[in-house]
Amino acid sequence: MSNQLTVIVDNRAEKPYQKEHGFSLLIEWNGKRILFDTAQGKAFFHNAELLGISLEQLDALILSHGHYDHGGNLAAVLEKNPHMPVYAHPDCVIDRYSLHKDGKIVPVNLSEKDRKALLSHPEESLHWCREAEEVFPGLWFSGSIPRIHEDEDTGGSFFLEKEMVHTDSIPDDISICLEYEDHLSLICGCCHAGVRNTIDRVQAIRNQKSVEFLMGGFHLVHAGEKRISDTISFIDDHQIRRIIPAHCTGELAMKRFKQELSGKVSFGLAGLKLPL
């Protein structure tokens, strides 16, 4: 029985797959099929069909956080899987906004349709988790990630209301940890909590095992040179063997990763299949 990760949606794609600003993965782990995020729009269904992924045959859904580009097709997926276990942080359903460079404040929360579908999912199948939880043997929901490295901000100007009174620290940001006998693999959605904080978190909950595989959105798209450098140094110091930046990592950070972690880095791409 082989374990495998398939990228359904990413910001990058090559034909015949479609790209969009969104993220979704299928994780096949010890015979279980776990959907991690549901991207934003039509690319999700187009790519899933091309990949031969049956959206009616899922064993669990894990939501990385409550942004539209990660939970944009929740209603459709839950309709196909009305009793599927769902794991999410309870703050994923709150209202939230982002201030763009042009000065516009725009909503970035889950759509009302997707939020309603999540909240009306059967109570016995809906797992609201603030702390770490083992979803299946060896597959962990990280729970909220402490912000120990204070320079790791959320990666943008996020607020809880249009008036921009209270900043949104995105406490619902979580990642998935896969546990092996002597090491861990870490799969991030957007990593608003920061790569360093997230690595520290999964090592803390799983006996300080080394992280050997790191994949996902690292949300360095708005990061300055110092934070990118500090992140790369941290990853290098931890001797992570395979790194796959995706989604919101940003072009500058991706370029630096490729230059400075030569031989360890490849990029996320819709349709990509990776052994785990």
Residue 182 structural domain: 4-275
**Cα–Cα dist 209/1, whole Å:** 24
- Number of domains observed in the structure of the chain: 1
The lowest-confidence range among 1-5, 66-70, 93-97, 199-203 is 1-5
**Mean of all residue pLDDT scores within the chain:** 97
Whether pTM > 0.75 for this model: the answer is yes
Q: Are 241 and 264 in contact (CB under 8 A)?
A: yes
Q: Are 58 and 35 in contact (CB under 8 A)?
A: yes
**Cα–Cα dist 171/264, whole Å:** 30
The pair of three-digit structure tokens given for residue 63, joined into one six-digit string: 């939501």
**Cα–Cα dist 223/205, whole Å:** 27
| Phi/psi of residue 181, nearest 5 degrees | -60, -40
Confidence of residue 101 (pLDDT cuts 50, 70, 90): confident
The pair of three-digit structure tokens given for residue 252, joined into one six-digit string: 């500058």
Q: What pLDDT is recorded for position 262?
A: 85
CATH number at residue 93: 3.60.15.10
Residue 68: how many CA atoms within 13 Å on its side-chain side?
14
* Statement: residue 247 has pLDDT above 80: yes
Average pLDDT over every residue of 177-192:
97
Indicate if the alpha-carbon torsion angle 133, 10, 265, 170 is positive or negative: negative
Indicate if the alpha-carbon torsion angle 28, 29, 35, 36 is positive or negative: negative
pLDDT tens, position by position, 204-224: 999 999 999 999 999 999 999
* Statement: residue 1 has pLDDT above 70: no
